[in-house]
Structures are given as structure tokens and as C-alpha cells.
């Protein structure tokens, strides 16, 4: 919240104006309701920046570092995507996420998932990286942990 107030105070509200804060906020109410998280990206009042975003909200933005989590088959493409068009759209979203990085791109995925089922039985499931990486992984440094 402090970042939002700082953004409003420094980028929206003019301290030089004589109207009260309430009057200025009322005057900018329509503007304020249309602001998006992306508007905070370029604000000079926010110096510590870690933005957590969906791929959809990141369209049109760029960041020095981008981390794509859980790039596994079943997530990219999502397990319910069945038609070729749905899979192509999922691939486009994945590649859009990749192109948001200016300097560094980190893509992570789990090689396996383990836990305890709701019936109390242990399980382990092997995972595969997203098929969208198959043709481009030669361009990346691969690390296993």
C-alpha cells in the first residue's frame, strides 16, 4: 500500500497545488480507477522493484530480469488445452513471457513432484519441461539442482 500512496503522492497529486489531498484525489478519481500495475513500473517513487505478474499483464512491459516458474508440460500448455489453436495460443503466451526480459531470463521447472495423497499415501510424479522449450533450449545454459 505504501507504494501506491507514494505513487499517488509523487506521480498523480501535485504538492504545489493548493487544493486539499481529498479535492485532488476526487479530481483524479477517474484516472486512479484506470491505473494498472504496469503504471507503477515506470514510477520514479518506487525504488525497490519486484513485480509479480501474470503473462497477460506483462504484455508490453520489459524487465531487466524475468523468471518464469513451473515451465512444465501441463502448465505450458495448460493441461486442458486440447485444440491446436489453444496450444498455439499457449505457446504465444509462453514466448511473450520470455521476451519481457531485457538482460536475464530464468526458466524453472520441477523434474518431479512428491508428497502425501489425501489418503495418506506417498507419491512421486516425474515431470517434463514444457514442449515449447524443445526447439530453443540449445540457446540456454541449463542447470540442474
| pLDDT bracket for residue 4 (50, 70, 90) | low
pLDDT over 90 (residue 59): no
pTM of the model: 0.62
Q: pLDDT per residue over 14-25, tens digit each?
A: 666 566 767 766
Whether the predicted pLDDT of 60 surpasses 70: yes
C-alpha cell at 132: 515449447
pLDDT at residue 138 in the model: 87
Residue 7 has pLDDT above 90, yes or no: no
Dump the DSSP string for 14-29: -TTS-S-HHHHHHHTH
Q: Minimal CA–CA distance to 131: which of 78, 83, 80, 69?
A: 78
Q: Would you say 54 and 37 are in contact if contact means Cβ atoms under 8 Å apart?
A: no
For residue 103, the model assigns a pLDDT of: 92
Q: Which has the closest alpha carbon to 129: 65, 68, 74, 66? A: 74
Lowest average pLDDT, out of 29-33, 69-73, 130-134, 135-139, goes to 29-33
Of 13 and 93, the structure prediction assigns the larger pLDDT to 93
pLDDT tier for residue 58 given thresholds of 50, 70 and 90: confident
Q: Mean pLDDT throughout 2-6?
A: 67
Q: Which pLDDT score, from 0 to 100, does residue 6 have? A: 72
b (16+ CB within 10 A) / e for 72-98: beebbbeeebeeeeebeebbebbeebb
pLDDT at 42: 63
pLDDT over 70 at 75, yes or no? yes
Angstrom distances, CA of residue 15 to CA of 21, 25, 30, 84, 127: 9, 12, 19, 54, 54
Q: Reduce the secondary structure of 47-111 to three states and give it as a string.
A: CCCCCCCCHHHHCCCCEEEEEECCCECEECCECCCCCHHHHHHHHHHHHHHHCCEEEEEEECCCC
In angstroms, the CA 130 to CA 70 distance is 9
Please give the domain boundaries of the chain with CATH numbers for all domains.
Answer: 1-48 (no CATH), 50-145 (3.40.50.300)
Amino acid at each position: 500500500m505504501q507504494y501506491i500512496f507514494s505513487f499517488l503522492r509523487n506521480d498523480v497529486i501535485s504538492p504545489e497545488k493548493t487544493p486539499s489531498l481529498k479535492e485532488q484525489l476526487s479530481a483524479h478519481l477517474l484516472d486512479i480507477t484506470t491505473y494498472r500495475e504496469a503504471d507503477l513500473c515506470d514510477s520514479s517513487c518506487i525504488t525497490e522493484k519486484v513485480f509479480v505478474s501474470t503473462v497477460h499483464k506483462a504484455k508490453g512491459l520489459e524487465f531487466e530480469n524475468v523468471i518464469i516458474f513451473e515451465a512444465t508440460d501441463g502448465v505450458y500448455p495448460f493441461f486442458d488445452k486440447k485444440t491446436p489453436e489453444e496450444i498455439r495460443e499457449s505457446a504465444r503466451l509462453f514466448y511473450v513471457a520470455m521476451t519481457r526480459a531485457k538482460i536475464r531470463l530464468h526458466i524453472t521447472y520441477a523434474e518431479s513432484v512428491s508428497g502425501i495423497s489425501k489418503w495418506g499415501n506417498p507419491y512421486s510424479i516425474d515431470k517434463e519441461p514444457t514442449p515449447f522449450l524443445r526447439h530453443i533450449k540449445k540457446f540456454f545454459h541449463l542447470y540442474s539442482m
